[in-house]
Structure 1
Amino acid sequence: MHQLLHNTIEKDKMKDTIVVDYPPIPLRQQCRYHLRLFPHYIRHYFITLFPIIQWIHRYNLSWLLQDMIAGITVGIVVVPQSMAYAKLANLDPQYGLYTAFVGAAIYCFFGTSKDISIGPISTVSLLMGEAINVITTEYPDITGPEIGVTLALFAGIVLVVIGIIRLGLIVDFIPGPAIAGFMTGSAITIVSSQLPALTGIGPEVETHGSPFHVLIEFFRNIRYTQLDIAFGLVALILLYAIRFGCKRLETRLEKFRKSFFYFNIMRNGLIVFLGTLISFLISIGKTTTPIRVIATVPAGFDAMGIPGLNFQVIRAASSTLPSIILILIVEHVSIAKSFGRISGYTIQPNQEILAIGISNIVGSFFGAYPATGAFSRTAIMARSGVRTPLAGMFSAAVVVLALYALTPAFYYVPNAILAAVVIHAVSDLVSSPHYLKEVWCANPSELFIWIITVLVTFFVDIEVGLYTAVGLSLATVLFHLARPQVHALVRVQSHYYADEKDPNFSKKMEPLPPGLLVMQPVDSILYPNAEYISESIIQTIKERTRSGTMTTYGYYASQNLQKDIPNENYKEDKDNKDRPWNEPRSIEHGRNHGPVLCALVFDMKAVRRIDSTGLQMLISLKKTVLNYSGNDVEWHFVGLNPIVRNQLAAFGFGRLSLQNLSFCSTNYHPVDNSIKKGDILIHKKTPAVVVEEEGGGGSHIIQHQEETDLEIGMPGPSTTITSPPNIVIEDYDVHQHYNAPRDRYNTFHWDIDTAIQTITQRWQEMPRSPLY
């Protein structure tokens, strides 16, 4: 009656248990489902190509006012900055204005960031200058503007393709420290290339080599300094003075905060205006200007035309083009993501890549060179209170005004002041000490990438620095993927499990049932790391258990634990004659003293994917464990996601095969190798050994011929041998999870406790000797 009541209570507790199952969906059914939704996919895809459709119908006068203020503010900044960047690219100033106009005007139709400002940037301009210098030297008949247009068109086509097929994830493979190292190296390169223009030394210094050589040449020719240094240094000092002064006054004088903010933003235009005015005044009545100036700038869009893909230029720039395209993507997406997080909205990286691709294609018709998002102008746009991407149209209007109304005044703009503007702008690209300290605290290896990238950029060139940053980043990712940690878990405080090497739990660890190990891979099991994970698991098994096979280091060695039982077959190997030559000493203790492995529990919560190599590794590992333990080991899995679960089930890991497991009572007799169960004497099945067939044809199980079948004999005398205390599983308290979800497959479990509970309950019902 008591047993019936107990069974009724157990059934009531299990009545509400959720049974988990993820049946694989047939391919035909999946195809039908997606074909039915195909029109919806097409409609959604084309809507995402034009994000302006989603918000333009809500546009209002309040947004218009804020966008106008922000757009005009950025326009005032971009005019002098774009002319300076054009000089950095070995182009005339108007080409920087063309680039700024098209980027600002086109982006709003395709972009998903309200803050970003498209136009020329320092790093791309520097690469363009190097490419133009190399190509024009090799092909004198090709002009710099033609090279810029060709590279803009080709880069735009590549970016559009990447955006359409949604390959924006390539940005995620380059970590922040690698980008920061490249930006810092680029800033050093740009500053060194602008020092001759800042001081008026002129063409005596070659500015297209590595920063190291440029600085050497600069100091060798420092005696040729001209009057330009007065304009350049004074302008640079004033730029920094206005910047830091306005920031301090903003915090102290709250009443005039907005006035100081806008005055700070307009410092570039103000300095260029004052420098141009002084340059004009000192040039009155002279046939030549005493300082180097921009000279004639044609009004309007003088370079408009249908571009063509000059494959000669593309071949000559084949080493630079990948760098330009990569910078266009990485810098734009990283800036857009950063300001999206600050302002509380999400950008679409693929759509952003498509937007800058279309901007560059359209820009090639206007004579522009490659453009992307600029950090400094984006920060100004955000602080100016921009509301929508339409603010770029107002920036473009300011550029058009400058092209048609201010080009006569550009004649007297000093080159030294433009160099000061560039140096001042790129100073923000240098990583701060606080950032480097954060990187060091987070991951010292990333600081190593930063240092190597900066050094390579400084001593070699900017392209090699970029490739070094990308290469080190990918190498780091592959190394961590190929060498994941595999933890052996132990129980701490009831039903919590932690790494046995964790010092925080060293005094609170509870032993697992003998013969049971809990392993936790901390990454997906893929072809780069499958073999390493297998080796780590095997090493852990050998360190904590002993072999159960018929060798002096296996079965007969295990009998040595029973000191009171004579065993004529056992011979102690004091000289280690039978010890495998390549066996590590770390597994000696487990080989001689540990229990034989009976069950493995894998915590798979961190395993998101398993490929075919990983699955084959698990199959091979299972055979290796079988050979080592001498009997089939129970394999249980915890925390599986649906995809990995179905993969394991398809490869036979979902069901527990009991036909080869050897069950026995605690009344185990090690001499006659038999167990007593009820009134029937059952002989133990001899351990199976997996033998690999030659030629890779798989494997087969060879059973020893002696006592391969269960033999039912007459009842015999029972000799009770008390097992060591550490192998009693009845005292292991397992936290009961009656309402925990239960999988349809009996080796897949919701948590580790449930898996261990399942194993120990079966061992109690059909006891299994931990000596085997």
Structure 2
Amino acid sequence: RELILEKARAAWRSRRLGAALRRLLPVLEWLPRYSPRTQLLGDVISGLLVGIVAIPQSISYSLLANQDPIYGIYTNFFCSIIYAFTATSRHACVGSFGVLCLMVGQSVTRHLQMAGYGDGSTSLGDNSSSTWNGTEACDRSCYAITVALSLSFLVGLYQILLGVLRLGFVAVYLSEPLLGGFVTGSSLTIITSQMKYLLGLNIPRHNGVGSFVLTWVDIFRYIHNTNICDLVTSLVALAIIVPVKELNDRYKERMKAPFPIELLVVIVATVISHYFDFQQRYGVDVCGHIPTGFRAPTVPDFSLFPSLALDALPIAVIGFAMTVSLAEIFAKKHGYTVRANQEMIAIGLCNLIPSFFYCFASSAALTKTLLKESTGSQTQVSGLVTSLVLLLVLLWISPLFYALQTSILGVVTIVNLRGGLRKFRDTPRMWQLSKLDTVVWWATMLCSTLVTTEIGLLVGVCFALLCIIFRTQRPRATLLGKVSDREIYEDQAAYKQLSSIANVKIFRFEGSLYYANKDYFKAVLYQKTGVNPVLLAARTDTQPGGSRGCLGTGRGCLKQGRSRSRSRAEKPAGDARPPCTDMHTLILDCGAMQFIDTVGLSVLKETHQDYEEIGVQVLLANCNPSIRQRLREG
């Protein structure tokens, strides 16, 4: 018997362990069911195309994050592998994301200045090899990646904690207008930060409040120092990349795969810069030496954690919000489900584990996810194929980008922000649909641009919450009339030819009743009904024997009371209103009330008592079970 029990316990423990591993590593669920015959071709093609696009983006986003190019390639390589094993989404593509790279770069620049490494105007690659063997003191490049990987560790730790504690609901407070305004504002900031590379200007990188304005002031101040070679190269690259990408977007349904114009421009520009020696002849900034292979793993600098803890929080929130939203969008489109908490754990692991391998913070990227989905990806095997493409770059190809101009990288970064800038075209339509959502969008966008990205996000969240409070504090309130020959009641102001019941008014409050809108409830009730019982009771004495209403707290909530007249003669709503003293019944339609707090309950009691004193009974209708329960208890 004991042997049987022991075997049963062992089997139960093994099943629990297996279930826990499958939850943590979803690859164990879908990989055994993988069908190479039907899925492998789409995954390989998609992975190759995403890898080709990821090469120039990895290098250009490193510039945005204030890092050497090799670290951007590291980030996309490791994230693609880890996300393939830990994600429940089949289509999301994780790697360097422009908005996060901007936030990482701002934090890195601030810490570089605090450590006395200057304004950060040094060209990429200048210091990348000085600490490659770890034998020399940590220079600017070494300290920059130390800050970035420590920040990535904290970001991943935050995201894993949110996933383990099942706090995925936090993402619901980042509404679509808020995220749209934040992305657009960050896009403007990114474009501003890249303008100095397009013009070949050597100006400091500003951080903090007003960095957007200060950067443009410096650009116009030193515009006479523009490097003509960088300017011409940037204009030619823009003239080539933008039209081709527009054609890719317009004819994406007909094309099997988009034309990789960015990679082609990067290759051609590198070859031209190398053979015509732009660096020596015209003084342009280039990527410099990009080493091959991998560095030995390292550990984050724990002494930086106190100063990075606050910087990591908005990066973690934006990262998991973008990842979860993209995963849910494509899961809904293709008919499968994703687990939001597991997605947070997955993106957390994509930030925590690569931090030991010289990577900076990452999240799901919209452009690469769209490309991955549109080119036939079936599973995350395509992510593994993308990592193989990047592995080839890391092992053999990366030194060939030595002569690549930083102005070309700036062009690649700016071109990929077109989606964020297109949001400006949607604001008129948004204004027609919801003025409050439009205000949230503009407030978040302006604060993210003119102040800082972190403050812009905070202002957007606070503004969105204030809009929710405003909506519930002043909800719509109407008087209802009856549709002829039907038991349907609608707003008298919105519909014509409704009939009203003689001496009875039906009032609908389209919101929950709580402490913040109690005064508004009374004011709009008195206004719509034309009867203020408090003033009326103060002017005239209450007639004895008048009808007394009741506050329906019974099973049906609408409790039948005696009325002065039981006639239900109907008249058109457009007729003259009866005198105030002729109203004998007030019906409160509570169908839109989701909840009611103790203050709201007191308001209903006061309303009942006030109208009862002037001979008007108050009835409640359409109360949901929670409202009825609160009325019984109160």
Q: TM-score range by the shorter chain?
A: 0.7 to 0.9
Deviations 1:145-180 (A, max 9, x none): 111111111111111111222222222223322222
The CA deviation at 1:91 is 0.8
In structure 2, what is the Cα distance between the partners aligned to 1:474 and 1:483?
14
What is the aligned partner in structure 2 of residue 128 from structure 1? 104
What is the aligned partner in structure 1 of residue 133 from structure 2? none
In structure 2, what is the Cα distance between the partners aligned to 1:45 and 1:524?
42
What is the aligned partner in structure 2 of residue 12 from structure 1? none
Segment of structure 1 superposing worse, 316-325 or 99-108: 316-325
Structure 2 counterpart of 1:166, which letter?
R
Give SS of 1:137's match.
Answer: helix
What is the aligned partner in structure 2 of residue 442 from structure 1? 433
The aligned runs of 1:75-224 (5 Å cut-off) are 75-140=51-116, 143-201=143-201, 203-208=202-207, 210-224=211-225
Give SS of 1:555's match.
Answer: coil
The CA deviation at 1:372 is 0.4
| Unmatched segments (≥5 aa) in structure 2 | 1-13, 117-137, 547-575
Q: Are residues 1:595 and 2:582 paired?
A: yes
The aligned runs of 1:360-399 (5 Å cut-off) are 360-399=351-390
The aligned runs of 1:485-634 (5 Å cut-off) are 485-505=476-496, 508-514=497-503, 516-537=504-525, 540=528, 543-544=530-531, 552-555=539-542, 593-595=580-582, 597-598=584-585, 600-626=586-612, 628-629=613-614, 633=617
The CA deviation at 1:637 is 3.0
Q: Are residues 1:240 and 2:242 paired?
A: yes
For the pair shown, which has the larger CA radius of gyration, 1 or 2? Answer: 1
Deviations 1:581-632 (A, max 9, x none): xxxxxxxx9996333544x434333223334443344344444444x3358x
In structure 1, what is the Cα distance between the partners aligned to 2:386 and 2:626?
50
The aligned runs of 1:414-433 (5 Å cut-off) are 414-432=405-423
What is the aligned partner in structure 1 of residue 226 from structure 2? 225
Distance change (3 Å), C-alpha of 1:643 and 1:303: farther
Give SS of 1:519's match.
Answer: strand
The CA deviation at 1:397 is 1.6
Give SS of 2:480's match.
Answer: strand
Structure 2 counterpart of 1:291, which letter?
V
Deviations 1:688-741 (A, max 9, x none): xxxxxxxxxxxxxxxxxxxxxxxxxxxxxxxxxxxxxxxxxxxxxxxxxxxxxx
Distance change (3 Å), C-alpha of 1:111 and 1:130: same
The CA deviation at 1:74 is 0.6
**Superposition TM-score, scaled by structure 1 size:** 0.67
In structure 1, what is the Cα distance between the partners aligned to 2:198 and 2:392?
28
What is the aligned partner in structure 2 of residue 52 from structure 1? 27
What is the aligned partner in structure 1 of residue 560 from structure 2? none
Q: Are residues 1:291 and 2:284 paired?
A: yes
Whether contact under 8 Å (1:548, 1:596) holds in the other structure is no
Q: Percent identity?
A: 26
Whether contact under 8 Å (2:611, 2:618) holds in the other structure is no
The CA deviation at 1:538 is 5.2
Deviations 1:496-542 (A, max 9, x none): 4445442422xx2222252x44332322334433453355445545x
Paired residues in the alignment total 564
In structure 2, what is the Cα distance between the partners aligned to 1:545 and 1:531?
13
**Superposition TM-score, scaled by structure 2 size:** 0.81
Distance change (3 Å), C-alpha of 1:364 and 1:597: farther
Q: Are residues 1:636 and 2:620 paired?
A: yes
In structure 2, what is the Cα distance between the partners aligned to 1:354 and 1:597?
61
In structure 2, what is the Cα distance between the partners aligned to 1:340 and 1:528?
39
What is the aligned partner in structure 2 of residue 692 from structure 1? none
Structure 2 counterpart of 1:191, which letter?
I
In structure 2, what is the Cα distance between the partners aligned to 1:42 and 1:534?
59
Distance change (3 Å), C-alpha of 1:527 and 1:405: farther
Structure 2 counterpart of 1:610, which letter?
I
In structure 1, what is the Cα distance between the partners aligned to 2:538 and 2:194?
77
Deviations 1:473-494 (A, max 9, x none): 1211111122222333222213
The CA deviation at 1:644 is 3.3
In structure 2, what is the Cα distance between the partners aligned to 1:481 and 1:245?
46
Give SS of 2:506's match.
Answer: strand
Distance change (3 Å), C-alpha of 1:231 and 1:287: closer
Distance change (3 Å), C-alpha of 1:321 and 1:385: same
In structure 1, what is the Cα distance between the partners aligned to 2:250 and 2:347?
36
What is the aligned partner in structure 1 of residue 325 from structure 2? 334
Segment of structure 1 superposing worse, 104-113 or 313-322: 313-322
In structure 2, what is the Cα distance between the partners aligned to 1:197 and 1:434?
28
Whether contact under 8 Å (1:491, 1:498) holds in the other structure is yes
In structure 1, what is the Cα distance between the partners aligned to 2:542 and 2:632?
32
Q: Are residues 1:347 and 2:330 paired?
A: no
In structure 1, what is the Cα distance between the partners aligned to 2:62 and 2:296?
14
In structure 2, what is the Cα distance between the partners aligned to 1:489 and 1:41?
58
Q: Are residues 1:474 and 2:465 paired?
A: yes
Distance change (3 Å), C-alpha of 1:54 and 1:417: same
Whether contact under 8 Å (1:545, 1:595) holds in the other structure is no
The CA deviation at 1:234 is 1.7
Deviations 1:441-479 (A, max 9, x none): 201232233333333333333333322322221211111
In structure 1, what is the Cα distance between the partners aligned to 2:465 and 2:17?
34
Give SS of 2:111's match.
Answer: helix
Q: Normalized per residue, which structure has more helix?
A: 2
In structure 2, what is the Cα distance between the partners aligned to 1:237 and 1:71?
28
Segment of structure 1 superposing worse, 274-283 or 316-325: 316-325
What is the aligned partner in structure 2 of residue 302 from structure 1? 295
Whether contact under 8 Å (1:546, 1:596) holds in the other structure is no
Distance change (3 Å), C-alpha of 1:237 and 1:342: farther
Distance change (3 Å), C-alpha of 1:391 and 1:604: farther
The CA deviation at 1:118 is 0.6
Distance change (3 Å), C-alpha of 1:123 and 1:550: closer
- CA RMSD, aligned part only? 3.3
In structure 1, what is the Cα distance between the partners aligned to 2:464 and 2:109?
30
In structure 2, what is the Cα distance between the partners aligned to 1:646 and 1:49?
42
The CA deviation at 1:81 is 0.3
The CA deviation at 1:76 is 1.1
Whether contact under 8 Å (1:524, 1:606) holds in the other structure is yes
Distance change (3 Å), C-alpha of 1:590 and 1:321: farther
The CA deviation at 1:400 is 1.6
What is the aligned partner in structure 2 of residue 769 from structure 1? none
The CA deviation at 1:303 is 5.5
The CA deviation at 1:420 is 1.0
Whether contact under 8 Å (1:548, 1:554) holds in the other structure is no
Whether contact under 8 Å (2:478, 2:528) holds in the other structure is no
Structure 1 counterpart of 2:426, which letter?
Y
In structure 2, what is the Cα distance between the partners aligned to 1:326 and 1:411?
35
Segment of structure 1 superposing worse, 203-212 or 112-121: 203-212
In structure 2, what is the Cα distance between the partners aligned to 1:70 and 1:230?
34
The CA deviation at 1:93 is 0.9
Whether contact under 8 Å (2:514, 2:596) holds in the other structure is yes
The CA deviation at 1:643 is 3.3
Deviations 1:301-335 (A, max 9, x none): 2152233533xx34334553333223213322333
